[in-house]
Structure 1
Amino acid sequence: MKFNNETHFTFSSKSTMLALAVFLLLLTETTTGWSKPEALRTTHDRGGCIAREREALLSIKAGITADPDGLLSLWRGQDCCRWEGVSCSNMTGHVIKLDLHKRDDQSSLEGEISSSLKDLQHLQHLDLGGNEDLTGPGGRLPEFLGSLGDLRYLNLSSLDFSGTVPHQLGNLTRLLYLDLRSYYGLSKELHQEDLLWLPQLSLLKHLDMSYVNLSTVIGWVDTVNKLAALEVLRLSSCSLNSTGHFVSRSNLTMLEILDISGNSIELQFKAISWVLDATSLIYLSLEYSGIYGMFPAHLGNFTSLEVLQLSGNYLKGMLPDTLTSLCRLRIFELAGNDVQGDVTVLIDRLPKCSWCQLQVLRLGHNSITGSLSDWISNVTSLTTLDLRFNKLTGPLTTGIGMLSNLIYLNLGYNQMDGLITQGHFAKLTELRHLHLSGNSFTMELNSDWIPPFTLQSLGLTSSYLGPRFPQWLKSQKNISFLYMSGTGIVDTMPGWFWTVFIGAEILDLSSNNIGGKLPATLGQMGADVLDLSSNRFTGSVQQLPQYTTELDLSSNFLSGPLPLSLWPIYIESLFLSNNYFTGTIPASLCQIQSLRYLDIGSNMITGHLPRCSEHVTSSSAMVTPNTTSPDSDSSSTMPLSMSIETLRIDNNSLSGEFPLLIQNCPELTFVDLGQNKFSGSIPEWIGQKLPQLKYLRLRSNMFSGYIPAQLKELRHLQYLDLAHNNFSGSIPRSLLNMDGMTKTTELADRDIPSGTSSGIIAVDDGDVPGGFAYYYIDSIFVVTKGQGREYIGQSIYMVSLDLSLNHLTGDIPKSIGPASGLVSMNLSLNHLTGKIPESIGSMRSLESLDLSSNQLSGEIPSRLSDLTLLSYLNLSYNKLSGRIPSGPQLDTLNPDDPTSMYIGNPGLCGPRLRKTCPGNHAAESHPKESKGGSETMPLCFGLSVGLVFGLWVVFCSLLFKKTWRVSYFLFFDEACDKMYVFVVVNWARMRRKVMATD
């Protein structure tokens, strides 16, 4: 090449010019992606793509056993570079990209990742994400992926792999993007014992291993710290341990996104120094990681931060005042901590410079106090405001109505009150979720008011909406979740309600005074949960919603036959108690395999329970209902297993022997047959057929026979009520030796007011729309401590035994003592004999003991004084004798009438009966006498010594002091004279009065 004065340079040959042209073309292709013309392609790629790589792709296709959307059906022809999801290099023709990830509108591919993939040695981009069933029979993450040395991008997210992450991935030294995240709920688990291979990926910018089990990895912080190029790090829900969080110097200066949420790190915020050093962060999520302590002031250094998520930790106190520099903050989540202080102060510590762009503010489940003032109207960009479960008071400011971008508002379960008018919703045109439940608001809205919003969920539980049914709900046709329990409505249900809310998923209008009849179209309702309990609905129920899973119609005035002819297909919970239903329980009950909770107590149902058996023929596997009578037996039938866990049919007029239906319910934990007319004996199969049973109540029936010893096989039984029956024989020796009877149960909710019935209740869990989920709650009427009361929730599972008012004989088993968890025991009104066993003193949890009206004899065990929790005792009307034991607890029982506990036992004596025990008169004359001697003896001794000492002082003074002695005797003589005159004068007056009267 020679230079020229005119053109600056010339080419010495045509070959040089051609070489330069090719160089420029290659440079253009590399920088702009320009495709070379067909004339410039080499001879090997004019057929479409490299043959060996095409064969590899076809082998990969062969490994796909299911392609529901036909994604690979177009993999035809010679040019594989044109196949769906395949890209080739325009320069070399090699396959450099394979993208088969599952899109939102697609189905997952099934099969396995073929080993032919390693033949694509020039592959730079591999994306199989979302295909959870593409793991093959072994389910292992393939090791051969480590041989694809040109890979820059690898996405295997949401594939249901098992086993360990292969260390061969460390060979992918050019990798920039690695996504191995799994998801909670997948059947398998990917785990890793160490991350020694990870630092080899020195160019890595994006790393996501969320839901990969890293619990055994030691020093993971130090390992990650070696990846200086990292911009995105996601290790959510990896079971990360708390070791090795300190590094001398953080290299993660490029980090923009950090998510280590869902781990149990359990460290103070300030201890995570490597997090605080990453000041370039835009996104920081430490939710549910066990972080505790005060908020660090270093948070103010994250000036680029847009998303800060700290929910579900143990942070306490008030926010630091250093956050004012976070001017880019868009999302701030701090729910589920121990944040304290006034809400106005808290808001003032958020950066005011971000108010115009703050979109999400979640502060629920804390201890924030104060009231919402007009500051709320300044945060105009808010789309989500969640302050539920705090201690906010006062009215709701009308400034809330200025938030025109607000989509989600939840102020539920605070202590707020006051009026809510139309002004509170003036500009809330975008509002979709409104939840004010658990406060004491009063809604004052015009009857013709049309809201500016269209809601999807609404929670107004315990707010006052009545007395008329709110007409404005007629316009809310998109509501899927409606919670209006206890809102003071006293009205007839309008007909439009059933039409407007026909497609709603959850409808809760319980605990109001809503009347009227249920519509004939009730079966067309699409509600998954329908709760109309504790209202005034009348009439019969012709059919039930066919797709509901939770239905509660209890505590109304419904009548007619049980609406069980057309059972809902997916019903799990059905509550029809406290109504006026009549008739019998139909055999269609046996067909509902999904039913878990059934409560039809307190009605007027008669007859027998169906046996629930099915015909089985050799020619057909079809299940048909048994049409035989309930008590018939047939060799052609077999038990039909059911899923019932709770069965309540108490307080009806059901009869017959112990229901055989129960033996078809192996998952039963709660059985209440009380207050019916059942007879016969308890079957011996009960111990084998009901292995999960915890609660058995047969009270107030006509059962007879012996109490079967097979009850001991009910290992989990902890509540047994056989009272008011005709059982005879002795108490089985092993009756209280089950594991359930030795369990100590916390009765935290025992003070819940009576009148609450079993059913489904709304509980906040923060995961479903509106922040509610529905759970089942049990309640029962229990006789304990001499009175009946309603127990609800977990407290019904207190450990209790009630065998009262039967015909039991024999003695109380001495082995009764191991029931250390027993809270209440009632054996009264039987014919028990013998002594009260000393082992009762080992029942340290016992609060109520009733052995009255038996024929027990002997002395009361002194070990009863060891029962420090005992608050009720009744030993009356037996043949007990001897001294009544005393003790700190026994002496405080029934202070108003202490004798009532022991009345009817002529042989008993002691201070509490005010009856002196023979041979110990002195002791009985002093009620406060203790075992160590009289408590009054020191007092008497002190008074005697004082009296003697005082007399000697006076005597010695008179003896040695003459002037005192003279004065004393003069004073004594004068006093005697005055007394003599007084007596003589009054005697004379008395005689004169007597004589005058005569």
Structure 2
Amino acid sequence: MMIHGSKFIQLLVYLIIGLQCMEFSLSGAIRCMDSERDALLTFKGGFRSGLDRFSSWKAEEDCCKWRGVGCDNVTGHVTKLDLHSPDPFDILQGEISQSLLHLPYLRSLDLSQNNFYSIPIPEFIGSLQCIKYLNLSNATFRGPIPSSLGNLSHLESLDLSGNGYSSLRAENLNWVYGLSFLKVLDLSGVDLSNAEVWLESINMLSSLVELRLFYCMLHKLPQYVHHVNFASLKILDLSDNNFNSKISDWLFKIGHSVVYLNLSRCQLQGLIPDAFGNMTSLTSLDLSRNDLKGPIPLTFGMFEKESQLNKSSSLRELYLYDNQLNGSLEQSLVQLSQLVALNVAGNDLEGNITEAHLKNFSSLRVLDLSENRLVLNVSSNWIPPFQLETIGLRSCLLGPKFPQWLRSQNNYSFIDISHASIVDVVPDWFWNLSSRVKHMDLSFNELKGNVPDFSSQLQLSLLDLSHNYFRSRLPHFSVSLRTLALAENSFFGSISHLCGILSADNSLGYLDLSSNNLSGEIPDCWKYEQNLVILNLANNNLSGQIPNSIGQLINLKTLRLDDNSLSGEVTLSLKNCIALRALGLARNKLSGNVPAWIGENLQNLMILELRSNTFSGHIPFQMCQLKYLRILDLSLNKLSGTIPRCVFFGMAKETLSLIYYPYTTYSEGFILSTKSRELKYQGILPFVTLLDLSSNNLSGEIPEEVMSLVGLWSLNLSRNHLVGPIPPNIGEMNLQSLDLSSNHLSCTMPASMTYMTFLEVLDVSHNNLSGKIPSGNQFITFESSSYMENPQLCGSPLSKICSIDELIEDPHCSNENEDGEIKAFKKKGTMASKYLHFI
């Protein structure tokens, strides 16, 4: 065989380096070399924290006995340096000294889980010629990966993952060409967005066994490769990239070897190919959170691996959740009986699953069929062949009887049988099934029965019994809870024993006890609740004052105490809750002034509901500082004075559908007051922008600044003492509901109102308006009740016909004629920019 000159020289270099790396000695007592000990001590000097790990590094000691140091038993040369941090609170911080170059036989270097302050990976590491294992993961390196790493010709494992947050990147992967012995490559989190030909580079690595490119910002998934060179691959993780394409054909050319394949969250499209049946060694497949459509291929059941006795499917884990798959699940189940984990939640699968379909699933441990159109139709005495650890049956039809087969399951840690149409009493045996349970969701059924105490359930972190018919005293709970949701039941009695889980070591983050029959005062024991994000005690019978300790909930984003009988003033301590996004205190007996500090301190507020209390005084101008405010409801109080002349910046945005209300529970229902009625709207909160100042004692004119709130969905200023004309530029607004009734407004209705084409609700009744009612567009849909008790109004839909005198503009009302109003409307949007400086 002929070898070209350049190839011969390259092989010779590899051979010389290899012989150096395998140097051995026959000498007697072996100690580490003085030069290598000195190099390690110099290396240690580059660090300024985490020095406990160097406590054994003493100059007079044999460095081969130092912590984290390994030596060759024959030569005494240092071959291993492991300084990874096992404790996230005890990490090394500092610099990497070039003294490592004086460890010429170093084969393994692990500096992972440390903090190198976003420095680049040192170029000199590419000169550690004997390195076989290099782990620099999760160590806050940044900048480009040095191409010199391609010189590490003996490298078998390279892990640079977890440095994405510090912006480690690679413009290409050409440098991997020289790593011909590489078996493990993990670049997860590294920015490879510019590496257009990443697959061609990887295809040169014929020894590759494990490839992980999770969240590498890859945007191109080649559909075809002529010849796949890395045919020994067993583990492939390309998840969390932005491929936006169908599943590639070249994957199936390595199908005989791949054991683990993860393509989740890659924006994959189209059908799942039948060719997956060729991947005969595959044990775990994750295609979740994509845009895949069509049925589950029957070829999944053809993943067969021969044994001495019979053929059995190799597939053990199948994750297809959060796609758009449809068709029958029943047919696929027959082929998948060897599975340990099956998760197809969040699709559009249908089927009537019987015990016959599940009789051979003896190995099943994880079953999640949630959010499909499935019926689980089994007999009351069925005993499954499996013991599940995860039971996910949300939105599956299980009822009306409580599933008796659950009695045989005593090892689960996760159970979700919410939205399952169960109308029954929860049997006592259910509450005692599993001491390992961490997640229990029985919400949105029609369940009844006694609810026991959970104080002994030390593993339980989520308990959701909301939207049922449970009626009992509020149980006791364990300090391990992170989420507790009991809303929309009939729990009664005091909540004072909640203090038992509000201790210094609790982890509670979400607490929703709304819409029950709870009574008594809110306990004043919230000082340790640093983790609480949601607190909802709305719609109960709670009384007394808002406790001061609630002000110590510094991470709270939603506080709902509405619909109770709370009294007194709003506690000043709430001004410390600067993370608040939603504050609901409506329908209580609160008094005093509307606190000015709300506008000064709670500047992240998006929702503020204070309606139906006895607040008095003026609306503080500081409210104008709430630049994210989308819902302001101060109605049904005793407020006086004029409406502040300012713009709420959040209401001046038109992009209603893009508004996101995180960390709130208002999506369950929102009360909108219009035309003397209170209507409850469900599931529309992201589209709602509302200003309601109705039923107060406000006076003066409607400020023109209000008209610049072009993002406003509903405006209610009714039942006040407002005077003067409706501002002529009201047509600039995109309102769906407008209520100006029961005031003292005068003059004609502006013609620009006909440009409010989204308007569905209008009420200007009980005022002193005059002249002709605007016509056209939405105004043909409004009935006469919208205009009643305005004696000088005329025109359709009223029976009063306009006279010539009533068509003439009153000179005391406005200087603008109709043409002027339309001209003003054509300058739409100028008012918003004009008044933004008031923020």
Length-normalised TM-score, structure 1: 0.69
Q: Is contact 2:37–2:59 with CA below 8 Å preserved after alignment? A: no
* Residues 696-716 of structure 1: per-residue CA shift (max 9 Å, x gap): 111111112211211101111
- The CA deviation at 1:365 is 2.8
Helix, strand or coil at the partner of 2:491: strand
Superposition deviation, residue 351 in structure 1: 5.5
* Matched residue, 1:347: 298
Cα offsets for 1:237-282 (capped at 9, x unmatched): xxxxxxxxxxxxxxxxxxx655444344434643x65897766755
Structure 1 residues 779 and 502 mapped into 2: Cα distance closer, same or farther (>3 Å)?
farther
> CA, structure 1 residues 489+311, in 2 after alignment: closer, same or farther (shift >3 Å)?
closer
Deviation at 1:693? 1.1
CA contact (8 A) 1:288 1:312 kept: yes
Q: Which residue of 1 aligns with 2:655?
A: 744
The farther-off stretch of 482-491 and 555-564 is 482-491
Per the alignment, do residues 814 and 506 of structure 1 end up closer, same or farther by CA in structure 2, a change over 3 Å counting?
same
Counterpart in the other structure of 1:162: 141
Residue 271 of structure 2 is aligned to residue 337 of structure 1:
no
- 8 Å CA contact retained: 2:533, 2:556: yes
CA–CA distance in 1 between the matches of 2:197 and 2:346? 36
Q: Aligned to 1:833, which of 709, 714, 723? A: 723
2:537 matched residue in structure 1? 600
- CA shift in 2, pair 1:738/1:409, >3 Å: same
What SS is found at the alignment partner of 1:680? strand
Q: Structure 1 unaligned runs (5+)?
A: 1-26, 233-255, 422-443, 614-638, 751-757, 761-775, 923-930, 932-998
Cα deviation 1:313-369 (Å, max 9, x = unaligned):
3443334566665444444433333333344xx324885666732333333333333
Check if 1:56 corresponds to 2:35. Answer: no
Preserved CA contact (<8 Å) 1:53 1:119:
no
User: Which residue pairs with 1:847 in the alignment?
Assistant: 736
User: Are residues 1:585 and 2:561 paired?
Assistant: no
Tell me the residue number matched to 1:198: 175
Q: 1:96 to 1:198 in 2, by over 3 A?
A: farther
* d(CA) in 2 for partners of 1:591, 1:805: 39
Deviations 1:24-77 (A, max 9, x none): xxx9x989999865xxx3xxx756343322343455567786587999589985
Q: Which secondary structure state, in structure 1, belongs to the residue aligned with residue 313 of structure 2?
A: coil
Asked if residue 231 in structure 1 is aligned to residue 197 in structure 2, the reply is no
How many Å apart are 1:799 and its aligned residue?
A: 0.8
Tell whether the 8 Å contact from 2:185 to 2:211 is kept in structure 1 after alignment.
no
> 1:913 and 2:798 equivalent?
yes
Which stretch of structure 1 is more off in the superposition, 865-874 or 519-528? 519-528
Alpha-carbon distance in 2 for matches of 1:375, 1:200: 42
Q: Give the one of 490, 494, 511 matched to 1:561.
A: 494
Q: Please tell me whether the aligned partners of residues 882 and 908 of structure 1 are also in contact (alpha carbons under 8 angstroms).
A: yes
Matched, 1:304 2:283: no
Change (3 A) 1:162 1:399: same
Name the counterpart of 2:753. Answer: 864
Letter of the 2:70 counterpart = V
**Aligned residue number for residue 701 of structure 2:** 811
* Amino acid of the structure 2 residue aligned with 1:292: N
Aligned pair 1:795/2:685, yes or no? yes
Q: 2:348 matched to which residue of 1?
A: 391
470 and 579 in structure 1: CA distance in 2 versus 1, 3 angstrom threshold = same
Question: What SS does structure 2 have at the residue aligned with 1:385?
Answer: strand
| Residue type of the alignment partner of 2:532 | L
Contact 1:811 1:833 in 2 (8 A): yes
Residues paired across the two proteins, number: 778
Listed one character per residue, the Cα deviations across residues 9-30 of structure 1 (whole Å, up to 9, x for unaligned) are xxxxxxxxxxxxxxxxxx9x98
Q: Which amino acid aligns with 1:570?
A: S
Unpaired runs of 5+ residues, structure 2, are: 1-15, 306-311, 808-817, 819-839
**Given that residues 94 and 122 in structure 1 are in contact (C-alpha distance below 8 angstroms), is that contact kept between their aligned partners in structure 2?**
no
Q: Is the 8 A contact 1:612 1:664 kept in 2?
A: no
Distance 1:612 1:400, change over 3 A: closer
Partner of 2:821: none
**Which residue of 95, 98, 101 maps to 2:77?**
95
Letter paired with 1:208: L
Partner of 2:131: 152
From 874, 896, 899, give the equivalent of 2:784.
899
1:962 corresponding residue in structure 2: none
| 1:562-603 superposed Cα distances (whole Å, 9 cap, x missing partner) | 234434332222222222222222322345333322222222
After superposing the two structures, state which structure 1 stretch, 115-124 or 554-563, moved more. 115-124
Structure 1 residues 706 and 552, CA gap change in structure 2 (3 angstroms): same
Secondary structure of the residue aligned to 1:728 is strand
Deviations 1:489-516 (A, max 9, x none): 5555555544444542122223344444
What amino acid maps onto 1:651 in structure 2? D
Match of 1:435 in 2: none
2:136 is the alignment partner of 1:123: no
Conservation of the 8 A alpha-carbon contact between 2:398 and 2:422: yes
Q: Given the superposition, is the C-alpha separation of residues 728 and 518 from structure 1 closer, same or farther in structure 2, using an over 3 Å criterion? A: same
Q: Deviations over 1:670-710 (max 9, x none)?
A: 11111111222212222112111111111111112211211
Question: In the alignment, residue 127 of structure 1 is paired with which amino acid?
Answer: L
Q: Contact between 2:172 and 2:198, CA under 8 Å: does it hold in 1?
A: no
Equivalent position to 1:505, from 438, 444, 455: 438
How far off is 1:860 after superposition?
0.9
Secondary structure class of the residue paired with 1:231: coil
* Aligned residue type for 2:290: N
| 262, 266, 269: which one aligns with 2:219 | 266
> Contact 1:747 / 1:798 at 8 angstroms: preserved in 2?
no
Does the 8 Å CA contact 2:369/2:396 hold for their aligned counterparts? no
Three-state SS of the structure 2 residue aligned to 1:399 is helix
2:152–2:179 CA contact under 8 A, matched in 1: yes
Residues 641-680 of structure 1: pairs in structure 2 closer than 5 A: 642-680=554-592
Contact 2:375 2:397 in 1 (8 A): no
Spell out the pairing of 1:357-372 with structure 2 (5 A cutoff): 357-372=314-329
Instruction: Encode CA deviations 1:204-227: one digit per residue, 9 max, x unaligned.
Output: 5346351454357565649937x8
The residue identity in structure 1 corresponding to 2:240 is Y
Question: Which is greater in Rg?
Answer: 1
Q: For 2:540 and 2:88, locate their aligned partners in 1 and report how far apart those are by CA, in whole Å.
A: 51
Aligned ranges 1:16-31 → 2 under 5 Å: none
User: Contact 1:361–1:382 (CA<8 Å) still a contact in 2?
Assistant: yes
Q: 3-state DSSP class of the match of 2:591?
A: strand
Q: Aligned to 1:361, what secondary structure does the other structure show?
A: strand
Q: Equivalent residues in 2 for 1:630-779 (5 A)?
A: 640=552, 642-734=554-646, 736-746=647-657, 779=669
TM-score (norm 2): 0.81
Query: Matched residue of 1:557: which SS?
Result: coil
Q: 2:769 aligns with which of 880, 886, 897?
A: 880
**Which residue identity lines up with residue 145 of structure 1 in the other structure?**
I
Give the Cα separation in 2 of the matches to 1:73 and 1:353. Answer: 54
How many angstroms does 1:863 deviate by? 0.8
Q: 1:280 to 1:869 in 2, by over 3 A?
A: same
- Tell me, yes or no, if the aligned pair for 2:206 and 2:230 is still in contact at 8 Å: no
How far apart are residue 832 of structure 1 and its match? 1.2
Q: CA deviation at 1:864?
A: 0.9
Q: Which moved more, 1:664-673 or 1:283-292?
A: 283-292
Match of 2:708, SS? coil
Letter in 2 for 1:476: Q
Distance in 1, Cα, partners of 2:405 & 2:248: 47
Q: Which amino acid aligns with 2:500?
A: L
Q: Distance in 2 between matches of 1:121 and 1:197?
A: 28
* Residue 721 (structure 1) shift: 0.9
**1:652–1:676 contact (8 Å) kept in structure 2:** yes
Q: Per the alignment, do residues 34 and 82 of structure 1 end up closer, same or farther by CA in structure 2, a change over 3 Å counting?
A: farther
Deviates more, 1:99-108 or 1:474-483: 99-108
Secondary structure (helix, strand or coil) at the match of 2:604 reads coil
Distance 2:492 2:680 in 1: 25
